A and B are shown apart, each in its own frame.
Chain A
Amino acid sequence: MSKIEAGMAGSVWKILVKEGDEVKAGQEVVILESMKMEIPVAVEADGTVTKVLVQEGDFVNDTDVLLEVE
């Protein structure tokens, strides 16, 4: 299982996947917004989204976990 972290403080602008979705390495799964800029967050390896831990509009810190991928 891998945890997808925010990498930067900001708010969750868009969540592009839901639990159960298959994702491929490099695929953008969440878009954060920080300082008026969109920051896409991608997964590093192929897998299945097992858990979505945030909602659109949530504020996150840089090490907060956004998703879990199996």
Chain B
Amino acid sequence: MFSKILIANRGEIALRVIRTCKKMGIETVAVYSEADADSLFVREADEAYCIGKPPVHLSYLNVDGIIAAAKTSGAEAIHPGYGLLSENAGFAARCKVEGIVFIGPEPEIIASMGSKIEARKTMKEAGVPIIEGINTSLENEEEAKLAAKQIGYPLMLKASAGGGGIGMQLVRSEEELGNAFAGNQKRAQSFFGNGAMFLEKYISEPHHIEVQILADSYGNIVPLFERECSIQRRNQKVVEEAPSPFISMETREKMLSAAVQAARHIGYSNAGTIEFLVDKEQNFYFLEMNTRLQVEHPVTEEITGLDLVEEQIKVAAGNPLTLTRGDVYRKGHAIEVRIYAEDPKTFLPSPGKITNFELPKGEGIRNECAIEAGTQVTPFYDPMIAKLIAWGETRQVACSRVKAALEDYKIDGIKTNIPMLIKTVSHEQFLAGKINTNFVNEYYLPLLPSL
């Protein structure tokens, strides 16, 4: 086992990884930007190194600085968290060259899933259903229009290297495609350095449901059930839960098996997530694979009793998984809400200083959070500042616990989406489990005038 791990991330996920390391008796090394010098995760780590100025490309994406901190501190492994360098194949390869273990899959696997077009082809080979669409990069509007004719509208125009909804747009006609193509291609180019675009048939009222898997380096793969992440704003998840209130036992079994098949086909190791879109008839289609720990991993932990970070570390250290598919049971229901520093009406960011802060407590309540009174929420990073997770014996209990905890959440000085979250988790459609990715548009936005 490792004796020291460096965490190449910040905020709540850095703190989350530190917590498991402490439990396992592993020393921790934090790296931080000048903007995060006073952060909780920096204080909680055994050692901390400043790696640059606030903008991410000068600090949290500063590969040389992070490697140097690992060498100086003698860390044997790096946990990348999520976002930032977590799905950067070049970084994983660099760690390997430097003799440091990257806690995640092999660089080639990260690269193969990093291109959505390549991933579609690979999954088709693996026998995993994909959405009808184009598996080559569309260079220009004319090519896109020609391809669109073959599939038929409405369509989703997507960036192959995309994420977080950037470079993605629903198009209902040739005219809309014409208007959307160049702008999204340019966006993809400037955000991801890659303007490859493709098209997929649009699925109406889809559910976003993903399967968590754990895999070791010896071919053992265990699915850890699914998470439903259909409540989104700006194409980013806001509320996640496990299990899904939508799918049947039969669909669940099929999805878990498809996820295992996908992971086996590519020779995956470590924790990973296969995201699917599920239509009204419970047909499911591969969307993308996230080759890292996910923001919403706690809901899986809450229903299975596992510590996913611990499993990641053990697998990365070369240990075989000690559990099999038959050993994993799920118990009860868990809901996570993401707390964003943003205006609950416009979803625009709200950086600033937190003046008063108090976390809610209660049965089944778990907080993942790296802020405190006095924390300056800067504009340099993601607006997610905390996560609240509620577990209950039933979905109904989890719903009422998460609502009560949100009402007890005290945070002053900045705007947050807590009012939006309260409206969401107490909405009759949500309580009835009738959620799909249109939820915010359909049920939340119409409530705005009354807020």
Contact = CB atoms under 8 A, between A and B. Distances in A.
B381 A36 contact: yes
Contact of A34 (B164, B234, B349): B349
A11 B382 CA distance: 14
Contact of B164 (A8, A11, A36): A36
Interface string A27-70: 00000001111010000000000000000000100000000000
Interface string B216-234: 0000000000000000001
A39 B382 contact: no
Nearest to A34: B379
A8 B55 contact: no
A9 B348 CA distance: 12
B164 A35 contact: no
Contacts of A59: 54
Contacts of B383: 35-37
A39 B164 contact: no
B247 interface: no
A8 B352 CA distance: 10
Contacts of A10: 349, 351, 379
A39 B55 contact: no
A34 B352 CA distance: 12
A58 B157 CA distance: 32
Count class of interface residues, chain B: 10 to 19
B381 A9 contact: no
Contacts of A36: 164, 381-383
B341 interface: yes
Interface in A1-37: 8-11, 34-37
B382 A9 contact: no
B55 A35 contact: no
Nearest to A36: B382
Interface string B363-396: 0000000000000001111110000000000000
Interface in B234-278: 234
A53 to B, nearest CB: 19
Interface string B51-76: 00011000000000000000000000
Contacts of B349: 8, 10, 34-35, 37, 39
B36 to A, nearest CB: 14
Nearest to B164: A36
Contacts of B55: 11
A59 B34 CA distance: 14
Most buried by A among B54, B164, B349, B382: B349
A37 B348 contact: yes
Contacts of B341: 35
B381 A8 contact: no
A49 B254 CA distance: 60
Nearest to B351: A9
Contacts of B164: 36
Contacts of B380: 11, 35
Nearest to B383: A35
A59 B33 CA distance: 15
A39 B348 contact: yes
Interface in B316-366: 341-342, 348-349, 351
Contacts of A37: 234, 348-349, 383
Nearest to B187: A38
B254 to A, nearest CB: 35
Contacts of A34: 349, 351, 379
Nearest to A32: B379
Contacts of A11: 55, 379-380
Contacts of B342: 35
A44 B23 CA distance: 56
A11 B349 CA distance: 13
Contacts of B378: 9
A34 B342 CA distance: 11
Contacts of B351: 8-10, 34-35
Nearest to B56: A36
Please name the 8 residue pairs, one residue from A and one from B, whose CB atoms are nearest each other, closest first: A35-B349, A34-B379, A35-B383, A10-B379, A9-B379, A34-B349, A9-B351, A36-B382
Interface of A: 8-11, 34-37, 39, 59
Given A8-B351, A10-B349, A35-B383, 16 more contacts: A9-B351, A11-B55, A11-B379, A11-B380, A34-B349, A34-B351, A34-B379, A35-B341, A35-B379, A35-B381, A36-B382, A36-B383, A37-B234, A37-B348, A37-B349, A39-B348
13 contacts: A8-B349, A8-B379, A9-B378, A10-B349, A11-B55, A35-B379, A35-B382, A35-B383, A36-B383, A37-B234, A37-B349, A39-B348, A59-B54
